[in-house]
């Protein structure tokens, strides 16, 4: 029913469509991040902590042993290959495991260990001998719920009695059924039905309530209200935990509504800079010349891996075709691909199976590839009004020159207009973008 009502809304209100599209993108982006992530994001920033009771001591742990976990849970953690807590886990875990239980609102970018943290908190609070739901976790979409479910299964694999239920659309149970599973993970609409109308879950018995991806959640029609209604059915003693990758005002207002008396943890994301990147531009007169310039660059310097950005799908597939004819192994990433397909392309590129990734804007956020030594803007990033998109420029270029290496960025210019955009980007970042003679590329190195 969630789906049909969404569709009806879209039809009745055409102006909302673009907004809806963007919302779907948020969930898709988040799923893509999860699918391609296989380790922690590096961070050198310190966590910021705001304690509900500023006088209580603040614990932080450097090892999982210090948490005094049940042996089978510690075993599960080590079986996942975790050696020590991530930056956010160092503070969040002792806080979440403390007695009596405390509520928590935590924000840090994707890949910093939030999911692993709350899964561990849920597992440490269940009594596997009791066969009724004790932990409830809300996710914005079915696919994201499945991803979290996988982590629960992995980390809980030494609990033979542990069972997990998915409260998602399409999962129909007989009337009068009582869930035996200790952990329920699902989307707000279905969870609400299961807690109220259908009474599959007794909300009064829930000990831990997790709201994951709060920023994606509130971007989805109806999820905010449903989450609040679920939260109201829980007891005062239920531990409430909320996680979000970003923290704009709307997320913060929602967080305060569903998590009373919280501790708050924030981890700033690593700043992207252009400091370690040499930026160039090449003057051309059309896309064929841009392609020739690209070939010249390839002919003159050694490139481990390159990412090439185009403005449209059409240019991207044309360029990929031309590069293949030249004998390059090329991967293409574009907007019409399913999230799973995109993840597969990114994985292959990261494994080095292809050396060139040609992509449009939409799908390239959040890809870190250590070997990417050069980023090429075949088209400069512009917003929908044709103005320079500085943020996207930084995101694109910031991919190279990571992990202390120096990176190279080359911008292809084919008109006065794109030249003027380049100048504006240069002024914005106050870092020189140097002209490159396409016949004499050696100056790059």
Binding letters toward ligand ADP, positions 25-44, x by CB under 6 A: ------------xxxx----
Rounded least distance, CB 169 to ligand ADP, Å: 23
Lookup: tokens for 66: 């210090």
Task: Look at strands 239-244 and 47-50 and give their pairing.
Answer: unpaired
Q: Identify which of residues 351 and 439 has a Cβ nearer to ligand ADP in the complex.
A: 351
Supply φ then ψ for residue 429, to 5 degrees.
Answer: -90, -10
85 near ligand ADP (CB under 6 A): yes
Lookup: tokens for 62: 């450097």
Rounded least distance, CB 115 to ligand ADP, Å: 3
**Tokens 């512009």 label which residue?**
382
17-25, 78-86, 295-303, 319-327 -> range binding ligand ADP (CB under 6 A): 78-86
Rounded least distance, CB 78 to ligand ADP, Å: 10
Residue 341 in 3-state DSSP? helix
87 near ligand ADP (CB under 6 A): no
Rounded least distance, CB 143 to ligand ADP, Å: 14
Cα separations in angstroms, 294 against 298, 307, 331, 426 = 6, 12, 16, 21
Rounded least distance, CB 153 to ligand ADP, Å: 13
Rounded least distance, CB 36 to ligand ADP, Å: 10
**Options 43, 89, 239, 373; binder of ligand ADP; rule CB under 6 A:** 89
**Options 23, 26, 114, 342; binder of ligand ADP; rule CB under 6 A:** 114
Q: Identify which of residues 121 and 306 has a Cβ nearer to ligand ADP in the complex.
A: 121
Lookup: tokens for 410: 């080359």
Nearest partner of 333 among 320, 352, 351, judged by Cα: 320
3-class SS letters over 40-79: CCCCCCCEEEECCCCCCCCCCCCCCHHHCCCHHHHHHHHH
Rounded least distance, CB 109 to ligand ADP, Å: 7
Q: Which of residues 190-249 bind ligand ADP (CB under 6 A)?
A: none
Helix or strand run (H / E) with residue 164:
strand 164-167
**Options 82, 132, 247, 429; binder of ligand ADP; rule CB under 6 A:** 82
Q: Identify which of residues 111 and 186 has a Cβ nearer to ligand ADP in the complex.
A: 111
110 near ligand ADP (CB under 6 A): yes
Rounded least distance, CB 116 to ligand ADP, Å: 4
**What does the alpha-carbon distance between residue 205 and residue 208 come to, in Å, rounded to a whole number?**
9
- The Cβ of residue 238 has, within 10 Å, a number of other Cβ atoms equal to 20
Q: How many residues bind ligand ADP (CB under 6 A)?
A: 16
Sign (positive or negative) of CA dihedral 378, 384, 388, 393: negative
In sequence order, which residues have a C-beta less than 8 Å from that of residue 174 and are 6 or more positions away?
none
Q: Identify which of residues 89 and 134 has a Cβ nearer to ligand ADP in the complex.
A: 89
**What does the alpha-carbon distance between residue 12 and residue 3 come to, in Å, rounded to a whole number?**
14
- Contacts to ligand ADP by CB under 6 A: 37-40, 80, 82, 85-86, 89, 110-116
């Amino acid at each position: 029913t969630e789906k049909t009502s969404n569709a009806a809304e879209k039809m009745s209100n055409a102006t909302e469509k673009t907004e809806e599209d963007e919302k779907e993108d948020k969930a898709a982006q988040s799923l893509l991040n999860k699918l391609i992530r296989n380790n922690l994001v590096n961070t050198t920033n310190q966590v910021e902590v705001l304690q509900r009771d500023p006088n209580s001591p603040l614990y932080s742990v450097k090892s999982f042993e210090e948490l005094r976990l049940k042996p089978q849970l510690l075993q599960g953690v080590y079986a996942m290959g975790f050696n020590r807590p991530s930056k956010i886990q160092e503070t969040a875990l002792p806080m979440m495991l403390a007695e009596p239980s405390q509520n928590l609102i935590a924000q840090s970018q994707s890949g910093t260990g939030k999911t692993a943290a709350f899964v561990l908190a849920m597992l440490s609070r269940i009594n596997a001998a009791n066969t009724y739901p004790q932990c409830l976790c809300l996710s914005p979409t079915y696919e994201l719920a499945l991803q979290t479910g996988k982590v629960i299964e992995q980390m809980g694999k030494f609990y033979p009695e542990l069972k997990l239920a998915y409260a998602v659309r399409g999962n129909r149970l007989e009337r009068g059924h009582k869930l035996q599973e200790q952990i329920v993970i699902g989307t707000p609409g279905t969870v609400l039905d299961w807690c109220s109308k259908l009474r599959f879950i007794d909300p009064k018995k829930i000990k831990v309530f997790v709201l994951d991806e709060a920023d994606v959640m509130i971007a989805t029609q109806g999820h905010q209200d449903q989450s609040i209604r679920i939260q109201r059915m829980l007891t005062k003693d239920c531990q409430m935990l909320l996680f979000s990758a970003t923290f704009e005002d709307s997320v913060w207002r929602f967080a305060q509504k569903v998590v009373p008396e919280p501790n708050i943890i924030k981890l700033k994301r690593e700043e992207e800079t252009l400091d370690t990147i040499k930026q160039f531009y090449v003057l051309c007169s059309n896309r064929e010349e841009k392609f020739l310039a690209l070939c010249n660059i390839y002919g003159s310097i050694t490139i481990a891996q390159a990412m090439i950005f185009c403005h449209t799908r059409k240019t991207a597939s044309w360029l990929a075709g031309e590069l293949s004819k030249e004998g390059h192994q090329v991967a293409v990433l574009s907007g019409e691909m399913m999230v799973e397909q995109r993840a597969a392309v990114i994985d292959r590129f990261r494994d080095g199976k292809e050396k060139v990734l040609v992509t449009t804007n939409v799908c390239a956020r959040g890809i870190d590839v250590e070997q990417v030594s050069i980023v090429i803007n075949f088209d400069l990033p512009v917003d929908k009004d044709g103005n320079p998109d500085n943020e996207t420029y930084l995101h694109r270029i910031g991919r190279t020159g990571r992990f202390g290496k120096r990176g190279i960025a080359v911008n292809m210019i084919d008109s006065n207009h794109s030249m003027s955009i380049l100048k504006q980007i240069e002024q914005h970042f106050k870092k020189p973008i140097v002209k490159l003679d396409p016949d004499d590329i050696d100056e790059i190195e």
